Structure 1
Amino acid sequence: MTQNELGIFEQLESEVRSYCRSFPTIFTKAKGYKMWDKEGNEYIDFFSGAGALNYGHNDPTMKKKLIEYISEDGITHSLDMATTAKADFIKKFNDVILKPRNLDYKIMFPGPTGTNTVESALKLARKVTGRTDVISFTNGFHGMTIGSLSVTGNAFKRKGAGIPLQNVVTMPYDNFVNDELDTLDYLERFLEDNGSGVEIPAAMILETVQGEGGINAARFEWLKRIEEICNRWGILLIVDDVQAGVGRTGTFFSFEKAGIKPDIVCLSKSLSGYGLPFAVTLFRPDLDIWEPGEHNGTFRGNNHAFVTATAALTYWENESFENEIQEKSTIIYDFLSKIVKDYPELKGEVKGRGFMVGISSEVDGLSNKVAAKAFENGLIMETSGPKDEVFKLFPPLNIDKDGLEKGLQIIEESVKELTKEPVAN
């Protein structure tokens, strides 16, 4: 790819762009787990739109339904008016996802993005409880608008707000300090002690697996105790499943295996199934105290996303898809464990759950080098963590075993190439 071809982006697009710096080429086509650039180079996609493409690119069933809907002049934009596309989604989501999991939630359409659903969750929690403070957790990431940013831990992203981010208390996530310290003993002490300076909050918000924060997976026992603490103190539990949900950790909701039922759940990213902007906020019916129009947004009625999201739910109509995810998750985890063992120069640790996994390297800058080398070798993946210390695997959930094995082989080749050389700068 010549610099002239990329020059239009460098000349006219804002310096805030980021992913195009990690993947310096012009992409033209994508299908399933593959992408192609202008030069005809083929890449295996272990990035999946940062978790927005859990079913890969241009799923044929979703594409067919969308083309049919558009060709028949179906409603595109409708704010929150009633449409057949919305009705079909609500019914199928309730029948296929909520009822089988014994989850009784109202469905709110807060706007098209992850940060929209988080903002609405925070607003609702404060409205219901009459309290202002929220407890968030170290290394959490919840979005880039002011409310969502206030509960985000990353100092670099927080600084971009340009104003003080208030009414939030940050507590240590599971194993934040070390494996021996139970961080919830610390949290409970703050709630119990009138001299702690911490008021009883409206809500606690967390990711069960922290995506941008370094693929930190909370233990199920920790999550269960969080729920118990929230119930004891009348605090609403918000689970941000924007990235970890829709099958990414092995089950549709990331909290299922922990056996908890959050008061409020935030979903976006892969919910549309096709990469179209779409978010929902789920909450207990008794929390639905909104006045009509009290929270709104012009693009909360994305009917094209309703159509593809409804089609995507067919993957979840029986247990076979989830079983396949579990089977392939074992392949991925075993591969990463072998890499850590076979390449001690990585000083690596396997992190995460399901298809939301990676290797954290103690060697400064090495994970970034692995991701860059993988791109040179034909695979797209990103890094995460406060110091980009984790190279992160996010393959599509429906990737076939051949594609999965090819991608994993590229990662091993990339690690091997780098660890043959001195890893320190």
Structure 2
Amino acid sequence: MTAPNLDVFERRESAVRSYIRSFPEIFTTAKGHLIHGESGRAYIDFFAGAGALNYGHNDDAMKAALMEYVAGDGIAHALDMGTGAKARFLERFHEVILSPRGLEHKVLFPGPTGTNAVEAALKLARKVTGREKIVSFTNAFHGMTLGSLAVTGNGFKRGGAGLPLDNTVFMPFADFLDEGFDSLSYLERMLEDGGSGMDLPAGVIVETVQGEGGINAASFGWLKRLNDLCARWNLPLIVDDIQAGCGRTGPFFSFEPAGIKPDIICLSKSISGYGLPMALVLVRPDMDLFGPGEHNGTFRGNSMAFVTATEALRFWTDDSLTRDVERRGQIIEDALTAMAEKHPELQPDVRGRGLMRGIGLGVAGAAEAVCAEAFKGGVIMETSGPDSEVAKLLPPLTIPDEALREGLDVMARAVDTVAARIASEKPAAA
């Protein structure tokens, strides 16, 4: 087994590249939960395209539908013109996803990435209300374009903007502050007190589980109270379900167990089912106020993604996948809890919901070291959090139990290795 030649990326690709630094391999093929490298090694994927591959790599039915479409000279590019592929997706999405959940939202297609969906949602909320500021939350991540970045909390990412990021008010997310602090009572007090200095905002944007922010999960009770607060103050509630949605936490929408119906919902990542670029914004009908072409994009009609997205909806005709995610999520929680109990010296904190999980490690650099060791052991996983302090797991929702347990065993050994290394480097007591 020879080492991959990564020299071309060093010579030809921008220094902004990141994942290749964590995963020094040239990947060639992938299937299900496995990615194969040029070195000849197979890796268990606990990364799933940062949540864009919830159904694993190269699902057979999606691949067959896509190949048939391409072989038949199906429309590849159509902007927002009418196509059979789009019509089939819209009808099937309403039938399988929206209607059973009592959602009558219109489907808005922005550009094909998550940040495009967020930008459209923010613009629409401002148009609907005639107001400017958006309430966002600490440790939020909503994208890398300027509007999305303005409602993102990460200081490193915000710093890359090169200019002030305005028209946002940040509030504490769920349990961001000490237990006993009621972040929503604080927000409502700011809204109702004329001396708070806070203008009535155009809307509120929230992730139910903060993926990039550290796998911070809001309780369903907190989400329900936020929804009710927004209704009282006539504030459009935007749920960014780009990473937490499409079954990642169990149900198709991560907010379903809270019993809420957000005004605006952002989806991307796994909505295409196959890793093809696609994004959409679900809009309450009375808020569907953009004029024709007022928000657009050259690639807002990715017909090939419509084909695979329609096929992916077969996973949602019953609750089988939801139950599998919940069961596999418990397997992960039990494994992470065992790691935490074995290594209290790493100041561990088990977090997350469904198959969106992580373990926070309070020792600086420990989470990054765990992910590096896991990669050596054949598992691909990344960190999250403002200081990369959380070792994060996003395996495919369809991963077999035995593969999931095998990957968790690799991760446990990685934690053992890092804990031993840290202990050996610790100065002896005088």
Distance in 2 (CA, whole Å) between partners of 1:85 and 1:120 is 23
In structure 1, the residue matched to 2:235 is: 235
* Amino acid of the structure 1 residue aligned with 2:144: M
Distance in 2 (CA, whole Å) between partners of 1:290 and 1:114 is 19
Give secondary structure in 2 for the equivalent of 1:420: helix
In structure 2, the residue matched to 1:393 is: 393
How is 1:322-333 mapped onto 2 (pairs within 5 angstroms)?
A: 322-333=322-333
Deviations 1:219-248 (A, max 9, x none): 111111111111111110000000000000
Give secondary structure in 2 for the equivalent of 1:349: strand
Give secondary structure in 2 for the equivalent of 1:273: coil
* Amino acid of the structure 2 residue aligned with 1:204: V
In structure 2, the residue matched to 1:143 is: 143
- Whether 2:283 is the aligned partner of 1:259: answer no
Deviations 1:377-414 (A, max 9, x none): 00000000011000001000000111111111111111
How much has 1:44 moved relative to structure 2?
0.3
Distance in 2 (CA, whole Å) between partners of 1:330 and 1:161 is 39
Give secondary structure in 1 for the equivalent of 2:30: strand
In structure 1, the residue matched to 2:104 is: 104
Distance in 2 (CA, whole Å) between partners of 1:39 and 1:97 is 41
Distance in 2 (CA, whole Å) between partners of 1:414 and 1:114 is 32
Distance in 2 (CA, whole Å) between partners of 1:324 and 1:88 is 27
How much has 1:3 moved relative to structure 2?
8.3
How much has 1:182 moved relative to structure 2?
1.0
- Inter-CA distance 346–371: structure 2 relative to 1 (3 Å threshold): same
- Whether 2:87 is the aligned partner of 1:87: answer yes
Deviations 1:249-272 (A, max 9, x none): 111001001111110000000000
In structure 1, the residue matched to 2:310 is: 310
* Amino acid of the structure 1 residue aligned with 2:142: H
In structure 2, the residue matched to 1:211 is: 211
Distance in 1 (CA, whole Å) between partners of 2:289 and 2:180 is 42
Give secondary structure in 2 for the equivalent of 1:121: helix
Distance in 2 (CA, whole Å) between partners of 1:345 and 1:394 is 25
* Amino acid of the structure 2 residue aligned with 1:217: A
How many residue pairs match? The answer is 425
Give secondary structure in 2 for the equivalent of 1:337: helix
- Inter-CA distance 2–18: structure 2 relative to 1 (3 Å threshold): farther
Give secondary structure in 1 for the equivalent of 2:5: helix
- Whether 2:313 is the aligned partner of 1:352: answer no
Deviations 1:273-328 (A, max 9, x none): 00000000001000011111111100011000000000000011111121111111
Between 415-424 and 34-43, the greater mean CA deviation after superposition: 415-424
How is 1:23-422 mapped onto 2 (pairs within 5 angstroms)?
A: 23-422=23-422
Distance in 2 (CA, whole Å) between partners of 1:131 and 1:65 is 44
Identity fraction in percent: 59
How much has 1:420 moved relative to structure 2?
2.2
Deviations 1:324-351 (A, max 9, x none): 1111111111111111112223210110
How much has 1:421 moved relative to structure 2?
2.7
User: What's the TM-score once normalised by structure 2's chain length?
Assistant: 0.97
Distance in 1 (CA, whole Å) between partners of 2:38 and 2:299 is 32
* Amino acid of the structure 1 residue aligned with 2:342: D
How much has 1:19 moved relative to structure 2?
0.4
Distance in 2 (CA, whole Å) between partners of 1:121 and 1:351 is 28
Distance in 2 (CA, whole Å) between partners of 1:268 and 1:199 is 31
How much has 1:37 moved relative to structure 2?
0.8
How much has 1:2 moved relative to structure 2?
7.6
How much has 1:114 moved relative to structure 2?
0.1
- Inter-CA distance 201–420: structure 2 relative to 1 (3 Å threshold): same
Give secondary structure in 2 for the equivalent of 1:324: helix
* Amino acid of the structure 1 residue aligned with 2:207: E
- Inter-CA distance 376–3: structure 2 relative to 1 (3 Å threshold): closer
How much has 1:154 moved relative to structure 2?
0.5
Give secondary structure in 2 for the equivalent of 1:107: strand
Deviations 1:99-157 (A, max 9, x none): 11111110010110000000000000000100011000000000000100000000111
Between 387-396 and 413-422, the greater mean CA deviation after superposition: 413-422
* Amino acid of the structure 1 residue aligned with 2:92: K
The answer for unaligned runs of 5 or more in structure 2 is none
- Whether 2:6 is the aligned partner of 1:6: answer yes
The answer for unaligned runs of 5 or more in structure 1 is none
Give secondary structure in 2 for the equivalent of 1:152: coil
Distance in 2 (CA, whole Å) between partners of 1:289 and 1:377 is 52
- Inter-CA distance 228–4: structure 2 relative to 1 (3 Å threshold): closer
Distance in 2 (CA, whole Å) between partners of 1:3 and 1:322 is 40
Distance in 2 (CA, whole Å) between partners of 1:178 and 1:337 is 22
Give secondary structure in 1 for the equivalent of 2:194: coil
Distance in 1 (CA, whole Å) between partners of 2:310 and 2:403 is 26
Distance in 2 (CA, whole Å) between partners of 1:4 and 1:403 is 25
